[in-house]
Amino acid sequence: MMSEGHDHLTALLGRLKLTALRDQLDTLIDEAGRRDLTIREALTLFCEREVARRDQRRIEMAFGLARFPFVRDLTGFDFAAQPSLDKGQIREIATGRFIANGEAVLLLGPPGAGKTHLAVALGREAIVAGYSVLFTPATTLVAQLAKAHAEGRLEERLTHYAKPKLLIVDELGYLPFEPDAAHLFFQLVSRRYERGAMLVTSNRAVGEWGTVLGDAVVATAILDRLLHHSHVVTIRGDSYRLREKRRSGLLQRATSAPQPTPV
């Protein structure tokens, strides 16, 4: 009878899609007994475990959909190596309030300074907070928009990139835009303006974006929207990659300027 009742209960839990309770039923009942919980307290415990399992599944699925290039978090970022960074500003951005407000974050700095690390870490924080995120290199984004435009599917692609609550565009300026690509990027920025948050990393100062985008007028229009409600983070520190090479002896830091040859 005990087994029959247990099987019936697990079947009911399965039908209700309470899979965490179903899979951990014996363990949870034993735990409630050991802790001498009341029925209300036991039900609370069971619900907490079910919610925790669902949250974990949601987060894992969202991490996959975000298409991050690697796993990074804020605890692994070496703030001491980048003293120009305001740690308090990064913590404020990590709360996700900028996403709720549809604002933009610009991470600017030289190659290898940790911009992509921060972008991924902030994207992961956003997912844990319940926001949908999509990460894309700028070159991939522009190529996808250009391809869709040529095939008459631009509206469909713009909708795809407009859907996530946070769109992360990485390495803007690493390669110059192709002709007319700036106009396509402008359409996406306009679509998301004050509706969906963006996080853009770039190795170029905003004053150089006209050259990067190949169209100074469009660049100004894009920056007008991105900077209207924005958080600009500028990293002035050294490259992590070069620092590691110096530590290993592969590169030597110049300690003094070259002296002129005597004449």
In this structure, what token pair is assigned to residue 142?
């522009």
E strands, the chain, in order: 104-108, 133-137, 166-172, 197-202, 230-234
Identify whether the C-beta of residue 139 lies closer than 8 Å to the C-beta of residue 171. Answer: yes
pLDDT of residue 220: 94
> What is the Cβ-side half-sphere exposure of residue 10, based on CA atoms within 13 angstroms?
13
pLDDT of residue 248: 55
pLDDT of residue 199: 98
pLDDT of residue 246: 53
pLDDT of residue 149: 96
pLDDT of residue 6: 79
pLDDT truncated to tens, each residue of the chain (263 aa)?
Answer: 456 777 888 898 889 888 888 899 999 999 999 999 999 999 999 999 999 999 999 999 999 999 999 999 999 998 888 888 999 999 999 999 999 999 999 999 998 889 999 999 999 999 999 999 999 999 999 999 999 999 999 999 999 999 999 999 999 988 888 878 999 999 999 999 989 999 999 999 999 999 989 999 999 999 999 999 999 999 986 665 555 555 555 555 444 444 444 43
pLDDT of residue 263: 37
Say how far apart CA 145 and CA 143 lie, in whole Å.
5
Identify whether the C-beta of residue 167 lies closer than 8 Å to the C-beta of residue 198. Answer: yes
**In sequence order, which residues have a C-beta less than 8 Å from that of residue 144 and are 6 or more positions away?**
136, 157, 161
pLDDT of residue 237: 66
Beta-ladder partners of 133: 166
